[in-house]
Amino acid sequence: MKNTLLTFSKMHGLGNDYVVIDESKKEIIPEHRKPAIVRELCRRGFSIGADGVIFVEPPTLDETDIRFRIFNSDGSEAEMCGNGIRCFAKFVYENDIVSQDEIVVETLGGIKYMNLTIIGEEVVSSTVDMGEAKFQPDKIPMLSPKPDLEEFLDGELVVDGKTLKVSAVNVGNPHAVVFTDKLEDVDLNHLGPLMENHEAFPEKTNVHFVKVVNRGEIEMLTWERGAGFTYACGTGATACSIVGYKLGKLDENVLVHLPGGELFINVYPRNGNLGAFMEGDAVLAFDGVVEIDV
């Protein structure tokens, strides 16, 4: 291994923060070293500190403009991230990696279509077509307590000896959603890791507790797979809005209040399924250079 200087950008979407590394021209961190270096870069108090690391890479699919990869702070690679992809879009446009305001992005969670709102040379917000939600347990993936169930919606899941009403969905990555009238009573640091690592979710899951304010507004708390508590989760806001709509608790337009700020979700029907558009901003905190061992 050798020491090298790594140029990076620190960005966040509603406080959900990421180190962004540009590998669009060449690989900077060898593939086998990515998980370990991600863990080091994300250590708060000892390094840059972040919920994860985003890599900008050239596309491998002809129909896409650019490739988005995201690693959680524990070094695991995730399929998608709503807040992360908005940071990604701002980064690639403002650094002249892409030049158009409509971007087709390759992700592990499928192809995502993005529209950027640009004032001057700055991306002030972006809208992402999050695609169709999957509710079939094998597509989440989830090992349903009742294998014959086609969907696990408002189903009973035993967590730490107590039964919770849980809905499971995949919106590019897996989510478990729990509606509650008393969000302030949720012990997220206790229940979050238990649900993330529950045997029902073989690839782990993101966990959300949600309070319905009215049919167009929710509050939510997130325990993110591989990262723990985060101030916001874009795919989570999408998952909660779609589940709430499917259960008849919410209308199609939802304002989502998260500890880090607000997102707007528009749920839509497509091909007999449900999808959603997510709209929000992203912020460049600072650019920097750090020494790493590659």
Taking only the tens place, the pLDDT of each residue in 245-283 is 999 999 999 999 999 999 999 999 988 899 999 999 999
Q: Which of 215, 211, 201, 148 is nearest to 173 (CA)?
A: 201
- Please tell me the predicted confidence (pLDDT) of residue 144: 84
The size of the chain, in residues, is: 294
- Please tell me the predicted confidence (pLDDT) of residue 149: 86
Q: Provide, rounded to the nearest whole percent, the portion of the chain with pLDDT above 90.
A: 95
- Please tell me the predicted confidence (pLDDT) of residue 242: 98
With tokens 């509606």, the residue in question is 179
Residue 69: helix, strand or coil by DSSP? Answer: strand
End-to-end CA distance of the chain: 5
- Please tell me the predicted confidence (pLDDT) of residue 260: 96
Distance in angstroms (rounded) separating the CA atoms of residues 67 and 253: 29
Per-residue pLDDT at 1 exceeds 80: no
Residue span(s) of the chain under CATH 3.10.310.10 come to 3-130+281-293, 137-276
The third-level CATH classification (topology) of the domain covering 137-276 is: Diaminopimelate Epimerase; Chain A, domain 1 (3.10.310)
Q: Provide, rounded to the nearest whole percent, the portion of the chain with pLDDT above 70.
A: 100
Mean pLDDT of the chain: 96
Cite the active site residues.
81, 233
Number of H helices, E strands in the chain: 4, 18
Per-residue pLDDT at 119 exceeds 80: yes
> Average pLDDT in the 67-79 region?
97
Please state, as a whole number, how many other Cβ atoms lie within 10 Å of the Cβ of residue 289: 8
pTM of the model: 0.92
The third-level CATH classification (topology) of the domain covering 3-130+281-293 is: Diaminopimelate Epimerase; Chain A, domain 1 (3.10.310)
Predicted confidence (pLDDT) per residue in 146-204, tens digit: 778 899 999 999 999 999 999 999 999 999 999 999 999 999 999 999 999 999 999 99
- Please tell me the predicted confidence (pLDDT) of residue 2: 76
